[in-house]
């Protein structure tokens, strides 16, 4: 049996960055559902959180998993669930693009803290500012 620990920090936004997830309760319910659904599909979400227009997710990849499939499963099912339950006033969609970066074991706790504190973080910085910083920081 192989022993594998590969962490990926994913970030993606709502379609056109519309703030669909505009209440803390809606966000909390969405993240909880996404976490539970991922677990049922064998995806290990370590930490998940976000803000009104985006989601951050720290995932530990399994040996048979790849980034593209994980994103399809998490984003696709969650948008279906949000729409099926009519949780937003209009059709909910995630944007197609996403950001994914590997995370060293030595900074996993820092990434967890960063993801867990999205409410406070976005009181000071917009998602667009954060996104541009990430793109620049990691040379995308």
Domains of the chain are 6-137 (3.30.70.1290)
pLDDT tens digits, 9-21: 999 999 999 999 9
Of residues 47 and 4, more confidence is placed in 47
pLDDT tens digits, 71-125: 999 999 999 999 999 999 899 999 999 999 999 999 999 999 999 998 887 778 7
The torsion region of residue 88 among left (phi > 0), alpha (psi -120 to 50) and beta comes to: beta
Query: Got the DSSP string for 5-50?
Result: -EEEEEEEEBGGG-----SHHHHHHHHHHHHHHHHHTT-EEEEEEE
Q: For the chain, what is the mean pLDDT? A: 93
Of residues 140 and 48, more confidence is placed in 48
Single out the residue of 93, 65, 62 nearest to residue 79, CA to CA: 93
Tell me the pTM. 0.88
């Amino acid at each position: 049996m192989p022993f594998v620990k590969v962490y990926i920090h994913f970030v993606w936004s709502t379609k056109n960055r519309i703030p669909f997830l505009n209440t803390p309760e809606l966000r909390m319910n969405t993240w909880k559902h996404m976490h539970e659904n991922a677990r049922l599909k064998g995806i290990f979400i370590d930490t998940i959180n976000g803000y009104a227009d985006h989601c951050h997710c720290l995932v530990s990849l399994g040996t048979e998993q790849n980034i593209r499939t994980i994103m399809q499963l998490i984003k696709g099912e969650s948008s279906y669930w949000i729409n099926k339950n009519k949780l937003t006033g209009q059709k909910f969609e995630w944007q197609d693009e996403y950001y994914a970066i590997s995370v060293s074991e030595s900074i996993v706790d820092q990434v967890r803290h960063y993801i867990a504190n999205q409410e406070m973080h976005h009181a000071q910085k917009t998602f667009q500012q954060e996104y541009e910083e990430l793109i620049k920081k990691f040379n995308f």
